[in-house]
A and B are shown apart, each in its own frame.
Chain A
């Protein structure tokens, strides 16, 4: 890691400003906060995956010691409070909008998954609330659950929602069907796959939590919550859930212990906790138990896909055809329709020139927890389809995996490149990424390494993925055109203090990504203020201008862009002040590194002097210029960003047990301008760990009755430190052409490209196709079946 030295600008590995408080136990996460007079909430969760509720008797619970009150759906309905919403309207093949059933904030006449919130108990202590919850009598009438997508879609299947026939959320298509069919007619070879993208449970280590607080004197509600986007939460709570208006609602997301998508959404427990605080006139605190996190946090992935690649005889890709079933769980949430449609289908061309692509996706309601965006959201699924197909094609045609990809890459001189899947890729150099990855992994030396493993009785495999994604969510115009419900800009407010220090207010939210450091670096770079003198404030709707939060790797490209724009406004205002102080014309004032000078002279003013003059305007052009040095900017870019990469995984399989040992994981990434190499590496490492977790360890399993079998960390295998070695990452630092910082985003990249690279390596080692996760028993069974077939 390069030493940042005294340089604190863009490109330096500046050590993080936020670390001190976390390392000394002084971080303030939601559950660390307590409000005077607060009561504690516990939610009664449904034990059934599908049941009618014939009645709820809360009388005994209400009489239990310490209980303040118990509420059910009827109480919420009386106050006009409603449940989670969908934020993206997807237009189906038939031109109709997708089906989005109305959802209440507590289950009313039926439950549709295990863990669905049925009642809230508020008591003086959490233990009393839990004691009382055992006394609630719910008259459930259990019904057969629909857990598998094919069962939910079957003719005559029962309906989860009265207003969703056939449990079909949408039937959607992308690309050109006729052109794709024509391409397949010309094919020399067609590769086919049927693959399952395993369902994952996000498991941020901080469980979700909320504190509702109501100030009756001000008629002001405050929600402290574990959110990636507090402003969006406020907008949604106020506009759709009956907990507004926005000027009477403050949402605070203090330190947040990881999100990975699961903390984007406004969940039922947050809605109800806030409402209960107002109803009871006292603060109410709720924190999820891990078991509840497993049941109620939005899950990720869960696709079944059949895909075919048409290839001519020299390996040129002619056409790609993809048909996917995607599980959305029991009801929609904010991104649950966008994730398996646009965030998936738009990336199906991958890094290749494939001229004709056609994809169709059916999304299905099932009696499982809602499925929504989880790190990568749609793009890991697209990458998985494309890169499994390409790898399999290479094997079937006897062409080297790297060579086949190289023959089909979009050449670096073809950008901007209009993909057949709606989006226009802005930049990329795929051959370079692959070349470098092959060097770093020593691709040429693999066969010798494989031989050495074989001599030790082990099966060695190598896997590649060359991937591209679209992120930096923005641009508003495109998002709106595709059915998104909100704007996708970001805001920043730079406030110089009179003594020259800076407070930056950003609408992005950091829950581990290091904004407090990286955004300070942007200020340092452009305004000449050391990072120590920059305070970055985020996560509180009362102080930050409106923001759209952090997801889809948008903080760098969009949030950072807003910081840059606000800094430019500061520079321009400062120029006018400097011109006055230096008695020169504005045109003659030059600016660099925090100092204004009169061209061709040694007369200068520092930014600190300018700030002082702006707030103590004794000598100041008050007739033409406002005092103060305080600028706000909104940034809304013209396109998504398109990070790309080439990843290699190398594994060894123990044929006796099926255990896969990860030997190496190399990622060469184009994430645009690297603002802080240390932090970018950390983001990629985390993505790799989650991606390898998906490939080898993690899977969400429901039984046929809809009980979650992997409902605890004893059964759901989160990667631990001894599950893999240290990863090797490099970035190419090629700027994005359409945002001012040249940033493409790095938050999701690792989780997008790594699962398929890892699975490809396992399949290369054992010579049999298997699904993720490649658990020891699955690998062992594959080897057994292969041995039997050979006999």
Chain B
């Protein structure tokens, strides 16, 4: 067991974890932040567990909780303040989600993406989305929502 200190959505946590605990399990089970989802278990392919680690989108199922020691994490629960972010709002306006399971990972990935790419083409967005699998939407409305959020950002 190891004691780690992590900042999650602005709050500092000091927690004791097993070395083999994945970061996603730490967030979901130990901190009860269940908005971060596990879709593919082993491969780290689906992207549903994407969070931001020190501002960068990473898959929390491909990290151990102990690796996050000393770092700062934002999860989907930490995106909105008093009101939804333009990206979240654009997902509502453009029907960018259906079952919602992949959505948190997509929001976290696209949050970082829009910071790096304030004026993306559809191709840029589609390329940026390859780390997230969605089985419901065919991605059409997701791309539209990200494009709309970028326009609001500008």
Q: Contact: A258 with B76, CB < 8 Å?
A: no
Q: Contact: B79 with A32, CB < 8 Å?
A: no
Closest to A690 in B: B135
Q: Contact: A512 with B136, CB < 8 Å?
A: yes
User: A778 contacts which chain B residues (CB < 8 A)?
Assistant: none
The complex places the Cα of A718 from the Cα of B102 at a distance, in Å, of 14
Interface membership of chain A positions 15-32, coded 1 if the CB is closer than 8 angstroms to chain B and 0 otherwise: 110111111111111011
Minimum CB–CB distance from A39 to chain B (whole Å) comes to: 14
Q: Contact: A718 with B101, CB < 8 Å?
A: no
Closest to B87 in A: A23
B150 within 8 A of A: no
The complex places the Cα of A127 from the Cα of B36 at a distance, in Å, of 20
Interface size on B, residues (CB 8 A): 58
User: What's the dominant secondary structure at chain B's contact region?
Assistant: loop
Residues of B within 8 A of A (CB): 18, 20, 28, 33-43, 45-46, 48, 75-77, 79-80, 84, 88, 91-95, 97-104, 107, 122-123, 125-127, 129-130, 132-144
Q: Contact: A32 with B34, CB < 8 Å?
A: yes
- Answer whether A679 and B136 are a contact pair too, CB < 8 Å, given A206-B101, A721-B126: no
4 tightest A-B contacts by CB? Answer: A25-B35, A257-B101, A22-B100, A512-B99
A734-767 contacts to B (CB < 8 Å): 750
A511 within 8 A of B: yes
A205 within 8 A of B: yes
Q: Contact: B126 with A25, CB < 8 Å?
A: no
User: What's the dominant secondary structure at chain A's contact region?
Assistant: loop
Q: Contact: A205 with B101, CB < 8 Å?
A: yes
User: A206 contacts which chain B residues (CB < 8 A)?
Assistant: 37, 39, 99, 101
A509-544 contacts to B (CB < 8 Å): 511-514
Q: Contact: A204 with B92, CB < 8 Å?
A: no
Minimum CB–CB distance from B102 to chain A (whole Å) comes to: 5
The complex places the Cα of A726 from the Cα of B144 at a distance, in Å, of 9
Given A27-B100, A255-B100, A258-B135, 20 new contacts (CB under 8 A): A16-B95, A23-B92, A25-B36, A25-B104, A26-B35, A26-B77, A28-B34, A29-B34, A205-B48, A205-B134, A207-B38, A257-B37, A257-B102, A289-B42, A290-B40, A512-B98, A685-B140, A722-B126, A726-B140, A726-B144
21 contacts between A and B (CB under 8 A): A20-B84, A21-B100, A22-B104, A23-B97, A24-B80, A24-B84, A204-B101, A205-B133, A257-B100, A258-B136, A685-B137, A685-B139, A686-B137, A686-B138, A712-B43, A712-B45, A713-B43, A720-B129, A721-B130, A726-B140, A726-B144
Closest to B97 in A: A22
User: A721 contacts which chain B residues (CB < 8 A)?
Assistant: 125-127, 129-130, 132, 134, 139, 142-143
Closest to A712 in B: B43
User: B103 contacts which chain A residues (CB < 8 A)?
Assistant: 22-23
Closest to B32 in A: A34
User: A29 contacts which chain B residues (CB < 8 A)?
Assistant: 34, 37, 101
User: A21 contacts which chain B residues (CB < 8 A)?
Assistant: 100
Q: Contact: B45 with A689, CB < 8 Å?
A: no
User: B104 contacts which chain A residues (CB < 8 A)?
Assistant: 22, 25
The complex places the Cα of A573 from the Cα of B123 at a distance, in Å, of 56
A66 within 8 A of B: no
Q: Contact: A205 with B102, CB < 8 Å?
A: yes
A382-426 contacts to B (CB < 8 Å): none
Q: Contact: A207 with B35, CB < 8 Å?
A: no
A260 within 8 A of B: yes
Minimum CB–CB distance from B110 to chain A (whole Å) comes to: 11
With beta carbons under 8 angstroms apart, the residue of A24, A291, A689 that contacts B137 is A689
A465 within 8 A of B: no
Q: Contact: B42 with A291, CB < 8 Å?
A: yes
Q: Contact: B135 with A16, CB < 8 Å?
A: no
Q: Contact: B139 with A679, CB < 8 Å?
A: no
Q: Contact: B99 with A291, CB < 8 Å?
A: no
Q: Contact: A290 with B39, CB < 8 Å?
A: yes
A1-59 contacts to B (CB < 8 Å): 1, 15-16, 18-29, 31-32
User: B97 contacts which chain A residues (CB < 8 A)?
Assistant: 19, 22-23
A776 within 8 A of B: no
Q: Contact: A712 with B100, CB < 8 Å?
A: no
